[in-house]
Structure 1
Amino acid sequence: MSPNTWVIEMPSQKSCSHPYPRRISPYRTPSLNRDAFTRDSPAAATSGPSTRSHNHPVFEDIRTILSVLKASGLMPIYEQVSNYEVGPPTKTNEFYSFFVRGVVHALTIFNVYSLFTPISAQLFYSYRETDNVNQWIELLLCILTYTLTVFVCARNTKSMLRIMNEILQLDEEVRKQFGANLNQNFGFSVKFLVGIAACQTYIIVLKIYAVDGVITPPSYILLAFYAVQNGLTATYIVFASALLRIVYIRFHFINQLLNGYTYGQQQKRKGGGGGGRRHRGNGQHHPTPNPAIMEHFPEDSLFIYRMHNKLLRIYKGINDCCNLILVSFLGYSFYTVTTNCYNLFVQITAKGMVSPNILQWCFAWLCLHVSLLALLSRSCGLTTREANATSQILSRVYASSREYQNIIDKFLTKSIKQEVQFTAYGFFAIDNSTLFKIFSAVTTYLVILIQFKQLEDSKVEDPEPDQT
């Protein structure tokens, strides 16, 4: 399903507070169009609170990834107060999350200690050579990223619950105002979870087969926890991307509502093009936007502005909760992609036989991190674009009277210097160009590593002559 897909469900006749058909949707489209508004059948609309739309709020769409994060202590085990409200965890659940975080930090200390003792000799032969220095830095960055993720998630427990409640309350307002239930198929989160688990399992199996001799128990613990750290950090990035996609859908919804009042849509209405479907010569019906009635603009604009401000607050709240994690993860991903590209270069240019084990290891890491970076960049880019598009759409609204123009001017004056950006702790913006920037930096650092490797090889091939 495309990222701009939502479902609009008609409430029962008794609960619908707005009799105007245009309040249900700015589009009238056939129900078979998956990328547009669709309507429930009358039976579903009148079946009451027992329907799926009432019992399954927005976060039920990502319940799988939420279950993983709750079990690992990265998300609080919140209580479902109502369909549009979640409460803080109980004392028992809070103690469970605290216990899991304590175990995580204990294992982190054990693994850091193991790295600086002879126990790690099976996994890292020497930290004086260029290749092994890269492995050590990569492993330490992984430990740092996951430890920081656990710490930040524990600190932002209340903030994350507040964000979830604000999204649910906003959805409740949308349903009361427009009879709309905004849902989306978040199947990509489950696919990423399966991919993360498969990649981590495959990587650990390759590492075990590459080790000579019998692997000691501490080495098994180090490898297992290394896989868990990578997997849960990646899972949290998928969760952050899903949150951004949820916000994107709501920004897109209000932009489409506002788009019905633009000058072009009003001209179609005057020309008789607002019937919802236009018949063409080939006998097919094609959906066209249904312009809204300008008399309803003052009422709708107040709701749209209020909803837009709430979405901006939610957007900023997500950024505040994730920015430290994103900085650490992007740094770790950058270094992982660089070292694996470097290892591929060494294998391809080596004079001896190419190791299939190392090639598979490198490709698995590259697939995992590149896909996560692409998902994060796309989610941030889509949400940022929709958040900034509201003022652009509003500037095209057909203002046929002074009253409408005053409403538009007030919003534009407020938002003209309010460009929205999703940043990594303010260091740089994360959008569709982030992936390109990361690969540009990877190329630069890769050249430096190759030069160090060539210098190292030249010292081995040309030893200093003995002085007699």
Structure 2
Amino acid sequence: MSPNTWVIEMPATVPHKSRPRRVSPYHNPPVLNDAFGRNARRGQDPLGRSEQPRRPENVVFADIQMILSVLKATGLLPIYEQISMYEVGPPTKSNEFYSFFIRGVVHALTVFNIYSLFTPNSAQLFYSYRETDNVNQWIELLLCILTYTLTVFACSRNAKNILRIMNEILQLDEEIRRQYGASLSQDCGFSVKFLVGIAVSQAYIIVLKIYAVKGVITPTSYILLAFYAIQNGLTATYIVFASALLRFVCIRFQFINKLLNGYTYIQQDKKKRKKGHHQYMEQFSEDSLFIYRMHNRLLRIYKDINECCSLILVCFLGYSFYTVTTNCYNLFVQITAKGMISSNILQWCFAWLCLHTSLLALLSRSCGSTTREANITSQILARIYGKTKENQNIIDKFLTKSIKQEVQFTAYGFFAIDNSTLFKIFSAVTTYLVILIQFKQLEDSKLDDMIEHGQST
């Protein structure tokens, strides 16, 4: 599917006439945010008292400020400048140099860890290259390093694109505020909860690993464990950030869908009694151009987010799939073992499963809901009855270009990410888990044969 088919070309809009701002045809009229209710004059507070000029605060990304700070401090996002409430600027030279330096340190540590893994320094953490469970740990660790390295690479390459996406979201909100006086609720409070959960789970996992190591832990092992936790934590944080961006886009798709829903058959019949039909459909003509323009911009933002995150998502999904599989396998080995069950390994496995399952569920839900809202616009528009020929032509032109288009959020084009992704991953986990169990049983049978052969001789 060509990305260009996502954009629906509409005639150029005429300049807005000077008319009073009206309330949008929402079922529930939007409530202004506190940021818009304040006195707009610089140097005065809402009570009229003089105060010092303050730096404009961005209220759109207020819910994810903590995640933005973490990603900027670790070099995954550029340290942008806040120009106004609805615009961010590129980083300064010093901030750009800081991000470049942090990324260099990350790559240096990655090379050091890969070198340490293939030397006797890692014997404390990985003591065998042959057993099935230890081979799985090696593959899982290498996938973690690969995922984080590609995340850093993709973030540095797409830094300007991320800033452009953020600016486009801010500009859309500014237009909505000017047109309808509405301030959209962001509903991204989940980001803080996930950030705290990621930090706690990584700390808990590292403590469990330290207690499981026998003997005195070497400095190299501490570096390996610490950087392993950082890699997992930051990759997971970026997934939450991508999910939050999709949530922003989803809310704005919902806004225009609610605007269009006010002109459907049922709502139209209700409003005919309050105002003339001609005046009502003239209002639709004014709104339709704004809605189509906003829909096109949201589709471009949706596509840009997909392009920026595709490589990261396909690596993360592969890494999560293998992590979930190995931990399910470790649980099976512990439950079926003849000896004593290790509580340390059980806690380790449950911590990993909870972390990755929650991240996969969040990503699938965010992608699925955004895709659904993007595709449902044409269905709502098909229920609008255009009395005049001009209005019907507007509706027909939109439907002609969108009725057969299916917007999808993909992992680098390999497969679509939606609400069914979590089920597909766990289906694949079940298949691969059976293969690992068979390898383990084959390994155990060979060991039993060797023991019997030794006893007979």
1:422 aligns with 2:409: yes
Q: Which residue of 2 aligns with 1:213?
A: 215
Q: 2:251 aligns with which of 249, 253, 272?
A: 249
1:396 aligns with 2:383: yes
After superposition, residues 329-408 of structure 1 pair within 5 angstroms as 329-408=316-395
* Deviation (angstroms), 1:24: 3.8
Query: What do residues 403-449 of structure 1 show as CA deviations (whole Å, max 9, x unaligned)?
Result: 11100000111112321100000000000000000000000000000
Moved over 4 A (4+): 39-43, 45-52
Secondary structure of the residue aligned to 1:371 is helix
Gaps of 5+ in 1: 1-15, 30-36, 275-291
Q: State the alpha-carbon separation in 1 of the partners of residues 18 and 245 from structure 2.
A: 30
1:96 aligns with 2:89: no
Q: Which residue of 2 aligns with 1:285?
A: none
Q: Which residue of 1 aligns with 2:183?
A: 181
Secondary structure of the residue aligned to 2:413 is coil
* Deviation (angstroms), 1:183: 2.8
Q: Which residue of 2 aligns with 1:107?
A: 109
Q: State the alpha-carbon separation in 1 of the partners of residues 89 and 32 from structure 2.
A: 31
Q: Which residue of 2 aligns with 1:44?
A: 37
Q: 1:302 aligns with which of 289, 296, 300?
A: 289
Secondary structure of the residue aligned to 1:86 is strand
Q: State the alpha-carbon separation in 2 of the partners of residues 236 and 45 from structure 1.
A: 33
Q: State the alpha-carbon separation in 2 of the partners of residues 393 and 414 from structure 1.
A: 15
Q: Is the 8 A contact 1:421 1:429 kept in 2?
A: yes
* Deviation (angstroms), 1:294: 1.9
Matching residue's letter, 1:384? T
* Deviation (angstroms), 1:18: 4.6
* Deviation (angstroms), 1:386: 0.3
* Deviation (angstroms), 1:169: 1.1
* Deviation (angstroms), 1:269: 2.4
* Deviation (angstroms), 1:173: 1.1
Query: What do residues 252-311 of structure 1 show as CA deviations (whole Å, max 9, x unaligned)?
Result: 000000110111211222466x9xxxxxxxxxxxxxxxxx92221111100000000000
Q: State the alpha-carbon separation in 1 of the partners of residues 388 and 24 from structure 2.
A: 25
Gaps of 5+ in 2: 1-16, 47-53
Secondary structure of the residue aligned to 2:83 is strand
Secondary structure of the residue aligned to 1:304 is helix
Matching residue's letter, 1:44? G
Q: State the alpha-carbon separation in 1 of the partners of residues 69 and 187 from structure 2.
A: 17
1:172 aligns with 2:174: yes
Q: Which residue of 1 aligns with 2:20?
A: 19
Matching residue's letter, 2:287? D
* Deviation (angstroms), 1:459: 0.7
Secondary structure of the residue aligned to 1:370 is helix
CA-based RMSD of the aligned residues comes to: 2.1
Q: State the alpha-carbon separation in 1 of the partners of residues 167 and 59 from structure 2.
A: 11
* Deviation (angstroms), 1:180: 1.4
Matching residue's letter, 1:38? V
- The size of the alignment, in residue pairs, is 426
Q: State the alpha-carbon separation in 2 of the partners of residues 299 and 199 from structure 1.
A: 51
Q: Which residue of 2 aligns with 1:84?
A: 86
Residues 179, 222 of structure 1: alpha-carbon distance in 2 compared, 3 angstrom cutoff: same
Q: Is the 8 A contact 2:360 2:422 kept in 1?
A: yes
Secondary structure of the residue aligned to 1:80 is strand
* Deviation (angstroms), 1:387: 0.3
1:458 aligns with 2:412: no
Q: State the alpha-carbon separation in 2 of the partners of residues 407 and 126 from structure 1.
A: 68
Q: State the alpha-carbon separation in 2 of the partners of residues 43 and 314 from structure 1.
A: 25
Q: State the alpha-carbon separation in 2 of the partners of residues 433 and 42 from structure 1.
A: 38
Q: Is the 8 A contact 1:111 1:222 kept in 2?
A: yes
Q: State the alpha-carbon separation in 1 of the partners of residues 339 and 430 from structure 2.
A: 25
* Deviation (angstroms), 1:401: 1.8
Q: State the alpha-carbon separation in 1 of the partners of residues 131 and 28 from structure 2.
A: 66
Q: Is the 8 A contact 1:259 1:265 kept in 2?
A: yes
Residues 255, 347 of structure 1: alpha-carbon distance in 2 compared, 3 angstrom cutoff: same
Matching residue's letter, 2:119? T
Q: Is the 8 A contact 1:57 1:168 kept in 2?
A: no
* Deviation (angstroms), 1:385: 0.3
Matching residue's letter, 1:56? N
Q: State the alpha-carbon separation in 1 of the partners of residues 35 and 90 from structure 2.
A: 36
Q: Which residue of 2 aligns with 1:135?
A: 137
Query: What do residues 62-108 of structure 1 show as CA deviations (whole Å, max 9, x unaligned)?
Result: 11100000000000000111111111100000000000000000000
Secondary structure of the residue aligned to 1:241 is helix
* Deviation (angstroms), 1:320: 0.2
Query: What do residues 131-184 of structure 1 show as CA deviations (whole Å, max 9, x unaligned)?
Result: 100000000000000000000000001111111111111111111111112232
Matching residue's letter, 1:341? C
After superposition, residues 47-58 of structure 1 pair within 5 angstroms as 55-58=57-60
Q: State the alpha-carbon separation in 2 of the partners of residues 97 and 237 from structure 1.
A: 19
1:264 aligns with 2:228: no
Q: Is the 8 A contact 1:263 1:397 kept in 2?
A: yes
Secondary structure of the residue aligned to 1:98 is helix
Residues 130, 256 of structure 1: alpha-carbon distance in 2 compared, 3 angstrom cutoff: same
Residues 302, 77 of structure 1: alpha-carbon distance in 2 compared, 3 angstrom cutoff: same
Q: State the alpha-carbon separation in 1 of the partners of residues 389 and 176 from structure 2.
A: 28
Secondary structure of the residue aligned to 2:61 is helix
Deviates more, 1:262-271 or 1:163-172: 262-271
Query: What do residues 205-261 of structure 1 show as CA deviations (whole Å, max 9, x unaligned)?
Result: 000000000000000000000000000000000000000000000000000001101
Q: Is the 8 A contact 2:253 2:295 kept in 1?
A: yes
Secondary structure of the residue aligned to 1:358 is helix
Identity %: 77
* Deviation (angstroms), 1:462: 1.9
Q: Which residue of 1 aligns with 2:421?
A: 434
Q: Is the 8 A contact 2:60 2:170 kept in 1?
A: yes
Q: Is the 8 A contact 1:25 1:178 kept in 2?
A: no
Matching residue's letter, 2:428? A
Q: Which residue of 2 aligns with 1:154?
A: 156
Deviates more, 1:260-269 or 1:69-78: 260-269
1:316 aligns with 2:303: yes
TM-score computed with the length of structure 1 as normaliser: 0.87
Secondary structure of the residue aligned to 2:217 is coil
Q: Is the 8 A contact 1:142 1:332 kept in 2?
A: yes
